[in-house]
Structure 1
Amino acid sequence: MLYAFRQIVGADSLSSPSLHPAALRDLNAAGSVRFGTDQDASRANLYFRPPRASNSSSKEGIELPPTSQRNRLLAHLSGVDGDPLALAGLERVKLEVRQVLEAPGVPIAAAYFVESGLVSVVGTTRPNQRIEVGMIGFEGMTGTAIVLGDDRSASEYIVQSAGEAFRISVSDLRAAMQHPARRALFLRYIHVLMAQGSQTALANGRGRLGERLARWILMWQDRIGTDGLVVTHEFLSILLGVRRSGVTVALHVLEGQSLIKATRTLIQVLNRQGLQAAASGFYGIPEAEYDRLIGPLAASESGPSFP
């Protein structure tokens, strides 16, 4: 299902002023912090919603049979102990657009195994420079800093496409990691995420805009699972760190090659294999690492399977 752009993402989510981590920590207990821009009050504001710790007795918790789990890591874990829910303390929650799951320098309260939707990993620096450095969908999880022994992230993890996830508290995640097979799986996934970050840096530094755009469309499609991507040129320019006019030109080039059909708010994928060729090698290495270390994404019944 496609969502109207304003339902999926607000451009302010990547351009709002950053607060110093100490200020965020002080405001964390208040439950929410509003970021606003005086220059453009008419546009949507970004609300920081600190993730709540998981509570296994919460009414939100929903124990589902393994066939209801789309997340590939959870599906893989179900075979570790022969337990349909191999991790204790999981609860199913909604992911809201512009919801910040992790903020730079702020202690992480919970990790999320994404079932649907999209989480962007955003590199930030003051005063307001931001660029997407990673994507997480049904193939992965947040909270990787916890797996590596820390309690906070240097990046922002923000929901860009609404969906659902299984949430687990930090204490339950650490307890789960005592099992060697679980810990090994999480570390393999972090290796894949690091490979994605390194390839993003390579594409940003060496790739032409058209190549980077083709790569981004493929990665988004992998995680959303539809041929139609609802996004504006303005938002794409923020994600890719370029001018909006450059994105418009690059989209027109891909459209002229009959690879996509683009409007102001919609990109329709027409030729996935052609997009892979247009990415000129900047797409595929992290995906191959995932296949090698965890398993092919196409093996998931509800996951995307493209020609």
Structure 2
Amino acid sequence: MSKFSQCSVRNRLLAALPADDFARIRNHLDPVTLNRSDVIVEANAPIEHVYFLEAGVTSIVTRTVRGRRIEIGLVGRDGFAGVPVLLGADRTPHETFMQVGGSALRMRAEAFHQALEQSPALQKLLLRFVQVFHLQTAQTAACNGSQKVSRRLARWLLMCHDRLDGDELPLTHEFIAVMLAVRRPGVTEALQELETADIIRTERRNIVVLDRRKLEETAGDAYGVPEAEYERLIGPFR
């Protein structure tokens, strides 16, 4: 018997479910700890579980023919990992791994399918999240193709800040370079630009957000569209 109640979950999708629908799936949710770099959805392999994040941040990445990884989306406690299962697929060419360690409520794919059949409310809620995630990936593509690195960096830091507690983001220059699809010197220059403006402070393997308002101003219209859609369709984002 599951030992947690709906009021104790931190995942915003599970918290938004009607109580009866949450009760149907509660005993199929297993708490798991996830470490940084853990792969929770392997590329081109059967997806055995979906993960409702409680803490931490996942990155969904694609690989180029030369093996370079590029982030196409990220998810935290606002959503879940394993979207292809919801859409009727059993695998995906994209990999999902933990960029910041945390925890999740894990559900076997078979139980997830059954829950979707029994709960129209669950299916509707998760499809709304897919709409938000689609906007996020579209925004990422638009930003990567049209925005300078400092603005893309500001947007990405805001997205991580939204999904983590406090103002410290445990991220390295190398990791950010992978996520933004730019070379490390470009990341270092952009971080220095934000630090000089007293928007962030960089530490070893850590970035501290000092002024979120200024960070939002730097990101400009690169940030905010998916977040507003989340609040319209699902509820409070942060």
Q: TM-score range by the shorter chain?
A: over 0.9
Name the residue aligned to 1:158: 97
Name the residue aligned to 2:59: 120
Name the residue aligned to 2:176: 236
TM-score (normalizing by structure 1): 0.74
Q: Pick the structure with greater CA Rg.
A: 1
Aligned pairs for 1:124-203 (under 5 A) are 124-178=63-117, 179-203=119-143
Task: Give, in whole Å, the separation in 2 of the partners of 1:80 and 1:65.
Answer: 10
Task: Give, in whole Å, the separation in 1 of the partners of 2:236 and 2:32.
Answer: 26
Give the counterpart of 1:217 among 136, 149, 157: 157
Q: Is the 8 A contact 1:119 1:159 kept in 2?
A: yes
Amino acid in structure 2 at the alignment position of 1:238: V
TM-score (normalizing by structure 2): 0.94
Task: Give, in whole Å, the separation in 2 of the partners of 1:84 and 1:220.
Answer: 30
Q: Is the 8 A contact 1:121 1:158 kept in 2?
A: yes
Gaps of 5+ in 1: 1-60, 299-307
1:130 positional shift = 0.8
Task: Give, in whole Å, the separation in 2 of the partners of 1:254 and 1:85.
Answer: 47
Task: Give, in whole Å, the separation in 2 of the partners of 1:280 and 1:212.
Answer: 10
Gaps of 5+ in 2: none
Once the two structures are superposed, what CA deviation does each residue of 1:74-126 show, in whole Å capped at 9, x if it has no partner? 1112x252654645511111112221111221110000000111111111133
Task: Give, in whole Å, the separation in 2 of the partners of 1:261 and 1:99.
Answer: 27
Q: Which moved more, 1:272-281 or 1:261-270?
A: 261-270
Name the residue aligned to 2:231: 291
User: Where has structure 1 moved over 4 Å in runs of 4 or more?
Assistant: 82-88
Task: Give, in whole Å, the separation in 2 of the partners of 1:67 and 1:224.
Answer: 19
Secondary structure of residue in 2 paired with 1:281: helix
Task: Give, in whole Å, the separation in 1 of the partners of 2:102 and 2:113.
Answer: 25
Once the two structures are superposed, what CA deviation does each residue of 1:16-71 show, in whole Å capped at 9, x if it has no partner? xxxxxxxxxxxxxxxxxxxxxxxxxxxxxxxxxxxxxxxxxxxxx84302222000
Is 1:102 equivalent to 2:41 in the alignment? yes
Give aligned pairs, total. 237
Q: Which has the higher helix share?
A: 2
Larger RCO of the pair (alpha carbons < 8 Å, separation 6+): 2
Aligned pairs for 1:34-49 (under 5 A) are none
Q: Is the 8 A contact 1:215 1:282 kept in 2?
A: yes
Name the residue aligned to 1:53: none
